[in-house]
């Protein structure tokens, strides 16, 4: 669903999905936008990860409905394009 929105994300083997952010500053703003919309996301940027690897971390749960996932994708995608 994320890649259909033009975001760089890899299909995970587990419930954690990393979505690449264009810069550390952008990752912080993007995560804040997601949190303001009610999504709990992680934000990883240097120095906790190598330079050029800033990402949002998303964790799915088995109890999420398709509608909830679609809503989360809309919020994440909207934040990516700000």
Residue written as token pair 């760089």: 8
- Structural domain including 8 reads 3-80
pLDDT of residue 16: 86
The encoded tokens of residue 65 equal: 């409905």
pLDDT of residue 26: 94
pLDDT of residue 9: 74
pLDDT of residue 6: 80
- Nearest Cα to 79, choosing from 9, 15, 5, 18? 5
pLDDT of residue 1: 67
CATH code of residue 45: 3.90.1150.10
pLDDT of residue 21: 93
The dihedral region occupied by 6, where left means phi > 0, alpha psi between -120 and 50, and beta the remainder, is left
Residues of the chain with pLDDT under 70: 1, 10, 12-13
Claim: this prediction has a pTM higher than 0.85: no
Q: How many domains does the chain have?
A: 1
pLDDT of residue 60: 85
pLDDT of residue 2: 74
């Amino acid at each position: 669903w994320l890649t259909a929105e033009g975001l760089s994300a890899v299909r995970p083997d587990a419930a954690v999905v990393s979505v690449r952010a264009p810069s550390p500053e952008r990752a912080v703003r993007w995560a804040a936008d997601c949190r303001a919309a009610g999504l709990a996301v992680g934000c990883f940027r240097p120095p906790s990860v190598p330079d050029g690897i800033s990402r949002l971390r998303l964790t799915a749960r088995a109890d999420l409905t398709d509608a909830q996932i679609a809503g989360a994708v809309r919020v994440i995608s909207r934040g990516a394009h700000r």
